[in-house]
Structure 1
Amino acid sequence: MKFAFPILTAKGEEFKDVKALTELINGEQSGHYLLGNHNKWHGGIHISDKSAPWCKDKYPVRAIADGKVVAFRMMKDYLTSEYQGESLRYSNCFCLVQHEYCEINAETKAKNEFTFYSLYMHLLPWDKYQSAEKLVLKKGWNARNSVPHANPDAEQQRVDAALPRFTLPKDTELEMDSSAPSQKGNVGGKEYDFIKVIIKSKLSNAQIKEAEKAGVLVSERSSVWIANSPDAVEVIKPNVPTWLFDQIEAELSKNMAGRADPVSNDKSGRLMAGSGSVSLPAGTKLQYDAHQLEFHWIGDKARKMARCKYVMPSGDGVQGSCGIAWVCVEDEFIKAKTLPPSHLGELYVLPSPVAIAAGETIGYLGLVETPGSLIGGKKSKHQVHLEVFTQDPRLDDVLANKAGTKGGATYAKVPVGLVLHEKKKQDGKDLWVATADKSLEALVESPGLEKDATKQEWVCVSSGKYVKKEQVELLSQHDWLKIGFKTVDGTGSDGYLDPDAPPAFFTDLVKSFDSDGNGELSSEEIQAALQNSSNADQLHKLIVKHPSEWYEKSSASSYLWLNKLMAKLGLPDFDLLVDHEKQRIDKLEWMQSATKLTLEKDSWHFSPVGIMALAIKAQNGHPRTYIGDTLNEIEFLSFYNGEVVEESDYVNAASELGCEVNAIKAIALTETGSTGSYYKFSDQDDAVLSILFERHKFSNMTDGKYDKSHPEISNPVGGGYGKYKVQYKKLMLAYSLDKNAALKAASWGKFQILGSNHLSAGYKDVNEFVSSLSGSEKNHLKAFVNFIKADNRLLKAIRAKDWLAFALVYNGPRQKGYDKRMKDNYNAL
């Protein structure tokens, strides 16, 4: 499963890391995890136009992980409520996405898995989505009443220079005026396409008067001409959530494969994409039901697929071929025709959930207007409420890492009082010398591991300070509870932090991460602890069971605290405010009404920031292996997901190649039968892709420039391979000299395919090839099939079991008995 940040930066880019996103969200004045406004429980976080104004209409909120849209409510317009004579608008639009978390122990194949949901509440209603492209000025840019000449003579230049113009300010919003086509014009000796646009932004009175003085009308909805330069004009296309639509008409924007029905992988549970059954050229017309999308795995990627009716382009008056096939319908491959969405204005549970990818559009921030005070007025902001929750009983096993899954981010749990050591040099050797300092209790992320001459392993726990490995507990990101995640059960809580009598639930929340306090906690102390940014790390690791705020209507017992508060205060205006809020509570409820989802009242809530911090850190991380005596992260590898090539995979591959299953198995046994597809040297390192570094290939690819300085890894003569334990040491030295050549000079995986053959193996570059094979053993077989199909000599030889002919091409003219070993392995099978 892939994860993504829920929003982009103001520049439309990915956030550098979770910390950068957290700093932005911390600027929100309300809607924090665990405790929201008015001393009330809050199960999610708010992202608003106060911190991310670009999410109002420019860059939408996105799905945080691969999953399926299972329910939504999309209204045509905002709902309104009345308070003290003021009409207040708000959005009850939402999208609910279901996700399947699954991590596999690469050795035992045991799984940690559970189902969770992400909720996106207060989305922009349908009628507020832009229907056409919007233009936004990146900088101050001139507006004109007319277009200057395209090829002006001297006199025309003087006339053009005198034409009225006014500089529109940066961030002015415009839309195309379809009443006039674009025209060529010359400014300062440079030719531009001039376009007629309508001003959408409201400029200040001073700006309007200044423009009038210059002879240009720039009031709202006025039309002007501007030079259409990408340096000054940003085009923002309508970004409508595709999960709203069912029947879609589209056109392929590039050549694609139409595929047969998917094949289920029994062990992983994945749907593997069917084989290519038809080649569909760009321009092919597609029709499909977007509420019947599925994720099918192609290589190491889950692709969004639809079962499409297709009609190929016609040629020479002949009707194009038509049929039905599975096609990848992601945005980069198709141009979809926008059709009116169905099921507007209702709570809709999809009969067949719609696949959605991490980072795919959910929607824009919706407007929420609230009473300004007891006597009236209003406060306005655009926001989305993002919530992550589960009701899956398997959560306990996942948090305890019952499957013993490893990989991803690593940690060292250091107890207090250990003797700290420093690394010194003596006679050219590294020695670890005890100091007078003692360790503090700590959880060290990505600890460095090294071995001394006696093979004693040392863990770096702070800058230049080490302890013996056996003195600490080494953990992975899958050890949720051991790395600081905690659960708090608030079942039965009404979620109100009573100032006079703080309930035990909120006291338990604070004491779960702050054990220094003695005795009872006041409401003020609880509020301060839960809203203190210095406690953010601990708060984001709390997983809390609590009744959902979206489950019940205002008449339920969980809202009795409001009635008690009304009786206590005895203020008529407050009574009116409570009545107003109860009306909204009833309109916002969805969970109990969506009966087909069979969701219950109580859910375990996660901090969205906390779960993203864990997942994205792993997603962006890389496996570690020993280079000499030091454990190093290998930046070009992906974590191995534990998948293996199964008998059904061999059968499918043999069918595609037209050869025997045992012929493929014999080649695999010959190449890596003694070492396996992955290397793992200790309990601390990760499984990494098996390799053989070939020095003569590296020498050839780098024109021998390193032959003299590094003969052990660059030599025109082959050989000198050494044991498999030194292969990554050689590779990383070569990688430090020439990254691309190093990866191409190694043979990779179960079938030892040379990196330089990545194109024949079905990959656009060697980095994609290496990353894919390191992630799943199944991709080794797919790469092998592609490689064999790309060379007719190999295809012919494997079908005939002509081992000599096969080895002379596959292993090279100096194949040194590979043919005999293949034959022997085949006969043994």
Structure 2
Amino acid sequence: MTATLPKISYPVPSNKNGHAFSSVEELLSVVGGESSGLYLVGSQGMWHGGIHITDATIPWCALSTDSEAENEYCRELYKGEQFIRCMADGEIVAWRVSKDYESAAIEWRGEKLFLSTSFVLVKHYIQPGDTEESGLTFFTLYMNLAPYAAYKQQGSLADRKVSGVQRYYSSVEDLQAGRTAGKLEKDTVVTLSDTIVTRSSDRRQFTEVTITRETKNAAGNTLAAGTKIWTVSDQGNLKATESVPVPSWWEKCTPAYTNQSEGVVNCTSRTNWAYYLSSDDVLQYKNAGRLVADFPLSYEPGNTAQQVIRPGKNPDDVARTFSLVTLGRDKDKLKKGDRVWVVSDGDSLTPVAPAASGSEPVFNDVYVPSAPIPVSAGDSLGHMGFYQLPEENGKRSRYQVHIECLSMDDMEKFITNPGRAGEDAPVYLTWKADAPLFEKDERGMVAGSRKTKISGIVTLAKVPGADAEGNALANNQNAAYFHIYKENGWLPAASVQKVSQYALGELGFVTLNKTPESFDLIDGIKQPNNVVKGILEQLYKAAQDETRTTHALNKYNYQRLLALIDSNHDGYYSEQEYLQAVHNVSYRDHLYRVIAKHASEWYYGKDDPLWKTYLDTLTTDAPLWKTYLEAFLDKMTWMKAVAEKGVALGPEPWHMHPVVFLHAIKKGKTKITREMLRRIWSDPRNVSDSVLDVVAEEFSNKFDICNINTKNRLYHFFAQIYQEVGPAFNLNEGFNYRPQVLIDKFAYYRNHPQDAQTDGYIPGRQAANKQNIANRAYGGREGNDDIASGDGWRYRGRGMKQLTFKNNYRSFTNYHERVWGERVDFESSPDLLVETVYAARSALYFWDQNNLYSRADNGIGRTVSDSITRIVNLYDNHYEDRYNNLIRFLQEGIFDEIF
């Protein structure tokens, strides 16, 4: 049996644009700023098997509803720009979707406290070696996710934004006559009506819309909320308002969870039905084109205001019903989200995946599907939910996600690397304290007088090596000596050990297995002879190795606390003293490598001894707190129900730090290679091996930083750049456009069709006037000066993305300095982009700068591909080719080895 190495992802991105954290240390540093949800021992001394991430550190993963409580807490409601991500490839085996906050609210001192009971449980399997002996089944848990209601409030199909500055009219008569009332500014928010006409002069669609909120038009005049006007509504002129997509796994459920407006049905056209821009066009048989069979649509079958019945042309013809539908992808000049009329009676439109009769999604209850739902690392699981906690004199609020990593397997065995996986390719170098250090001088390597102060672990690839004579080596694989920066000296090969990344026990991971009496670990009365003692013992060991003089007393403090625990002398003591010792930032890395077997607070209920022992102490002194906690446990526990339904998760699982443990087992990154790229650019006469080597190296180096770091992202990225440069790998825009292509592609030539005839390529008659085309097509746009300036030609398409326009060359200059740390002025030297290094980097810039990766995260499909193409090259006539590139690369599995 071959190794199974799931892809690993961080649970949150580093900013609202979705950029990945550059390292695990960066993520831990940010999350280290959290004041609640500390690993293993919470801030109140209670057991806490996971970690919290809140809006205090990662606000872009929070999603608000419009509740009064949230408006009171937030200056501005959270928009959920980014999701909580699944941390590893696996399968969802259980969940609970909370309907809304009201259904989970708990009474506290005369008011309701909101929290979400939503959770997702994902099962994973890793087998780093070739035998099952090395395997481990584990789970990741994501709790307190935003409820269903948070996604239902994200706007309706009728809410639109004006895509650019565009004219509006006061009446149908004015629009037909061309009498404008003014111009709407870009992004003006409007609400669609069902009143639609086609303008006779140009066959464009216009809709009566309502100004959603008070705004100013382009001339600065106020348009009051509720004002009704007419404006053009086809060809993407009224785009859907931005809404938060639902978690990607929802649509895989049976039945699916969806934020689709009530009454709206997703469907496809049964055949190539004609479509019409208005109901009048329907009645007059004036179609605007034809859909293909299976074209994605949505409509409201029960909304008679969006229906029209057309009598037959002849007395014996049957009348047909037509409905107003929304396009699910681009069609001809129309864009996804545009509305047209299509025949809808009988089986004309086929509902997509109809739910079983009477079947409804399950809310507020634990649910275990009959078949697990596959999920990949990085997939969206949800957002942070709103979470209110009681305080003696009120409440406090935050948004949070609670994350755990659990296993019922033998973790004591797993950390010993039983299958000896990875020993043939060690990742780390370790050494012991008191190992003799060598020094390097003109004689070579000589024994020094110093010894290593402490034991240590470093990444092997980062350690300089030398041969027996002390000569530096480019590769330390067969080094005789290794330079240890921390010790400022060299260790011979005999004094170090090369360690597999899966030998976790040799890398600082330890297991604790101490049966608890209560979830209240540090109660201020009874000495914490529980998991706390085990943690303090590990931190005491770390403090004994302390070399910093400012931290020299730490080991005595740990020794004193452990002696108090061993003395068995119970009585009042400082809880904070123990908490500070457990969460001493100096030994954070040691705490995070503790793997603890402990009863889960999500398994046991209020009447089980582990909780009852604690709750009984509140009966007299804090009865309100007892009532609150009992209600909390009734609503939040779930693990026993999941176990009873067949999920192999018991009452006392092992708990691992989710970020640190998963980072430790994360497979080494496979780079993009020349061999992969050769499957795309197959002819070495067009692209040499050396060019592909440079491209592979550039893309691999910035794989995470530039966000081509998931399967969907990378395949979409290459589908686009392959279309840009073609099989010949052209890094300069060709401009061999025929006259009609110029007219279709560029506004200048649409307005000056005679120039298209003189500049365009006509086979056998004239070559394209490339310089004219560039200047006329691009002059006066996106920072370029006018046609006569020559900027169109100067800033023509170059590089693997065919970067165009002065603004983009200037932006790339700034981006390049930020990402590569090197100032190169592409605005003054635009031809640099035909050099392979900068050609590749410019493609990464455009992808990352325009957040195209966030579109790729929506999946693999024509609609997603087209949405990316619209940003890359809006007026391109190769949308289908780009999608075909995507499918071909996927089917051939060109980059599958990376993931």
| TM superposition score normalised by structure 2 | 0.51
Contact 1:99–1:115 (CA under 8 A) maintained in structure 2: yes
- Counterpart among 230, 234, 245 of residue 238 in structure 1: 245
How far apart, CA to CA, are the structure 2 residues paired with 1:411 and 1:480? 11
The one-letter code of the counterpart of 2:656 is F
Paired position in structure 1 for 2:31: 25
Contact 1:420–1:439 (CA under 8 A) maintained in structure 2: yes
Paired position in structure 2 for 1:510: 536
How far apart, CA to CA, are the structure 2 residues paired with 1:356 and 1:561? 39
Q: What do residues 746-765 of structure 1 show as CA deviations (whole Å, max 9, x unaligned)? A: xxxxxxxxxxxxx99x9849
Paired position in structure 2 for 1:615: 665
Shift of residue 31 of structure 1? 0.8
Q: What do residues 198-228 of structure 1 show as CA deviations (whole Å, max 9, x unaligned)? A: 46xxxxxxx999x9x974557xx99999999
- Counterpart among 349, 357, 360 of residue 379 in structure 2: 360
Question: Would the alpha carbon gap of residues 702 and 241 (structure 1) be closer, same or farther in structure 2, given more than 3 Å must change?
Answer: closer
Q: Does 1:384 align with 2:401?
A: yes
Shift of residue 490 of structure 1? 2.7
Question: Would the alpha carbon gap of residues 465 and 7 (structure 1) be closer, same or farther in structure 2, given more than 3 Å must change?
Answer: same
- Counterpart among 75, 84, 88 of residue 65 in structure 1: 88
Query: How many percent of aligned residue pairs carry the same amino acid?
Result: 24
Q: Does 1:86 align with 2:104?
A: no
How far apart, CA to CA, are the structure 1 residues paired with 2:689 and 2:412? 57
How far apart, CA to CA, are the structure 2 residues paired with 1:700 and 1:583? 70
Q: Give runs of aligned pairs for residues 163-242 of structure 1, distance below 5 A.
A: 177-179=191-193, 198=212, 215=222, 235-242=242-249
Shift of residue 196 of structure 1? 6.6
- Counterpart among 9, 12, 18 of residue 7 in structure 1: 12
The one-letter code of the counterpart of 2:465 is E
Q: Does 1:42 align with 2:48?
A: yes
Contact 2:445–2:468 (CA under 8 A) maintained in structure 1: no
Q: What do residues 321-360 of structure 1 show as CA deviations (whole Å, max 9, x unaligned)? A: x9xxxxxxxxxxxx98999852223222222222111112
Q: What do residues 549-608 of structure 1 show as CA deviations (whole Å, max 9, x unaligned)? A: 0111111111234345326xx54xx21122111111122111122312353211110011
Uncovered stretches (5+) of structure 1, i.e. residues with no partner: 136-140, 169-173, 185-192, 200-206, 254-280, 287-318, 323-334, 623-634, 639-688, 690-696, 706-736, 742-758, 776-829
Task: Provide the secondary structure at the position in 2 that maps to 1:478.
Answer: coil
Paired position in structure 2 for 1:727: none
Paired position in structure 1 for 2:635: 587
Contact 1:96–1:117 (CA under 8 A) maintained in structure 2: yes
- Counterpart among 616, 625, 638 of residue 577 in structure 1: 625
Q: Does 1:462 align with 2:451?
A: no
Contact 2:386–2:398 (CA under 8 A) maintained in structure 1: yes
- Counterpart among 354, 361, 366 of residue 347 in structure 1: 366
How far apart, CA to CA, are the structure 1 residues paired with 2:484 and 2:838? 34
How far apart, CA to CA, are the structure 1 residues paired with 2:386 and 2:134? 39
Shift of residue 472 of structure 1? 0.9
Contact 1:33–1:45 (CA under 8 A) maintained in structure 2: yes
How far apart, CA to CA, are the structure 1 residues paired with 2:168 and 2:439? 75
Contact 1:147–1:194 (CA under 8 A) maintained in structure 2: no
Question: Would the alpha carbon gap of residues 488 and 396 (structure 1) be closer, same or farther in structure 2, given more than 3 Å must change?
Answer: closer
Shift of residue 77 of structure 1? 2.0
Q: Does 1:125 align with 2:125?
A: no
Q: Give runs of aligned pairs for residues 513-592 of structure 1, distance below 5 A.
A: 513-515=539-541, 516=544, 517=555, 518-521=559-562, 523-566=575-618, 570-571=620-621, 574-592=622-640
Task: Provide the secondary structure at the position in 2 that maps to 1:104.
Answer: coil
Question: Would the alpha carbon gap of residues 356 and 636 (structure 1) be closer, same or farther in structure 2, given more than 3 Å must change?
Answer: closer
Q: Does 1:472 align with 2:496?
A: yes
Shift of residue 424 of structure 1? 5.9
Q: Give runs of aligned pairs for residues 422-461 of structure 1, distance below 5 A.
A: 422=439, 431-440=444-453, 441-445=455-459, 446-448=461-463, 450=465, 452=467, 457-461=480-484
Shift of residue 87 of structure 1? 1.4
How far apart, CA to CA, are the structure 2 residues paired with 1:47 and 1:222? 44
Q: Give the structure with the higher percent strand.
A: 1
How far apart, CA to CA, are the structure 1 residues paired with 2:538 and 2:689? 62
Contact 1:143–1:224 (CA under 8 A) maintained in structure 2: no
Contact 2:155–2:241 (CA under 8 A) maintained in structure 1: no
Question: Would the alpha carbon gap of residues 763 and 738 (structure 1) be closer, same or farther in structure 2, given more than 3 Å must change?
Answer: farther
Task: Provide the secondary structure at the position in 2 that maps to 1:519.
Answer: helix
How far apart, CA to CA, are the structure 2 residues paired with 1:507 and 1:224? 72
Shift of residue 22 of structure 1? 1.7
Matched length: 542
The one-letter code of the counterpart of 1:372 is E
Contact 1:144–1:225 (CA under 8 A) maintained in structure 2: no
Question: Would the alpha carbon gap of residues 284 and 559 (structure 1) be closer, same or farther in structure 2, given more than 3 Å must change?
Answer: same
Shift of residue 614 of structure 1? 1.4
CA RMSD of aligned residues (A): 5.4
Uncovered stretches (5+) of structure 2, i.e. residues with no partner: 1-5, 64-79, 158-162, 199-206, 257-264, 270-291, 298-346, 470-477, 545-554, 563-573, 676-682, 692-834, 840-883
Task: Provide the secondary structure at the position in 1 that maps to 2:631.
Answer: helix
Question: Would the alpha carbon gap of residues 450 and 583 (structure 1) be closer, same or farther in structure 2, given more than 3 Å must change?
Answer: same
Q: Give runs of aligned pairs for residues 424-823 of structure 1, distance below 5 A.
A: 431-440=444-453, 441-445=455-459, 446-448=461-463, 450=465, 452=467, 457-462=480-485, 465-496=489-520, 497-504=522-529, 505-515=531-541, 516=544, 517=555, 518-521=559-562, 523-566=575-618, 570-571=620-621, 574-594=622-642, 595-596=644-645, 597=647, 599-616=649-666, 618-619=667-668, 621=669, 635-636=671-672, 702=688, 764=889
Question: Would the alpha carbon gap of residues 609 and 336 (structure 1) be closer, same or farther in structure 2, given more than 3 Å must change?
Answer: farther
Contact 1:177–1:223 (CA under 8 A) maintained in structure 2: no
Shift of residue 241 of structure 1? 4.3
How far apart, CA to CA, are the structure 2 residues paired with 1:25 and 1:66? 23
Shift of residue 459 of structure 1? 2.0
Paired position in structure 2 for 1:778: none
Q: What do residues 163-200 of structure 1 show as CA deviations (whole Å, max 9, x unaligned)? A: 9x8x99xxxxx97622389999xxxxxxxx9997746x
The one-letter code of the counterpart of 1:178 is L
How far apart, CA to CA, are the structure 1 residues paired with 2:425 and 2:197? 56
Question: Would the alpha carbon gap of residues 636 and 423 (structure 1) be closer, same or farther in structure 2, given more than 3 Å must change?
Answer: farther
Shift of residue 530 of structure 1? 2.5
Contact 2:192–2:209 (CA under 8 A) maintained in structure 1: no
Shift of residue 420 of structure 1? 3.2
Shift of residue 4 of structure 1? 1.2
Paired position in structure 2 for 1:746: none
Paired position in structure 1 for 2:421: 405
Question: Would the alpha carbon gap of residues 92 and 701 (structure 1) be closer, same or farther in structure 2, given more than 3 Å must change?
Answer: closer
Contact 1:30–1:37 (CA under 8 A) maintained in structure 2: yes
Task: Provide the secondary structure at the position in 2 that maps to 1:90.
Answer: coil
Q: Give the structure with the higher percent helix.
A: 2
Question: Would the alpha carbon gap of residues 701 and 6 (structure 1) be closer, same or farther in structure 2, given more than 3 Å must change?
Answer: closer
Task: Provide the secondary structure at the position in 2 that maps to 1:97.
Answer: strand
Contact 1:246–1:342 (CA under 8 A) maintained in structure 2: yes
Shift of residue 121 of structure 1? 1.3
Question: Would the alpha carbon gap of residues 410 and 252 (structure 1) be closer, same or farther in structure 2, given more than 3 Å must change?
Answer: farther
